[in-house]
Structure 1
Amino acid sequence: MAGTATPIFPQTVKNYVAQILNADASNVKTLVTGAANGSKIEAITVASTDTSARDVQLVITISSVVYVLTTVSIPASSGSINSAPAIDILRNAQWPGLSYDANGNKILYVASGAVLGIKSLATVTSGKEIDCLAVGGDF
């Protein structure tokens, strides 16, 4: 994309999803693949039906190299029962070094060809799941 003196905004609103199941063990699940001109992620929410707390990692793959971005604890049943809210990954204290948009909200840019993934560090309980939703857009 050529440089410009005018602001550039995402052109296509996207909801990216990934689901981690027992069969996935601790393998990385693709959440976002950067679009041709890149993607902007404005929120990442994780919910779990697992009755055990799980640590999840967000990773980014660039040129076949996997980089760990952060590890966040997902409490048991987060987002699936009223007393345990879903976890907002971008605003979590475990990930303080993110960029901010003009409104002061944390954001994450995913470059063209880069792949943002998520994985559980321990296998999810059989019959349970961890669901992840990223909201943003493609440039």
Structure 2
Amino acid sequence: MKAAQLIHLRAFALIESCLVITGRVGVPELQRAFCNSRSSCSNIFTEYRKGYPWAVTYNDQEKAYIATDKFKPIILEQVFNTTAQEYFDAIQLISLNDILAPTRNEKSKITTRQTALKKLNAQLTQLGANND
């Protein structure tokens, strides 16, 4: 499996975790968890919706994706074999960010953490590319 595929699966699992826990997920949650650009997060949502069009719908007022009645956490259950809360807690720990609601006082800390995480993600991507 290529590094890009792993990154998408990891993001898809976070999307599903947020949908199970809160019923909604948006670009900010992915950005806080993985330090991705807004456009790369939007691309991840596009890919998720292509694979699982029945799972989510976009709500313009909330600027977030909302779980539909047909939503089931397929990636969490079939790929990661874990619960939404367990996965969310693991990503929360790894990202060192409060994924759902960072406070204003945390913004400078988040920027420092995001820089470190971007470097780590780049290293992981390079490692994955070297193993292909």
TM-score for the superposition, normalised by structure 2: 0.26
- Highest RCO, 1 vs 2 (Cα 8 Å, sep ≥ 6): 1
- Greater helix share, 1 or 2? 2
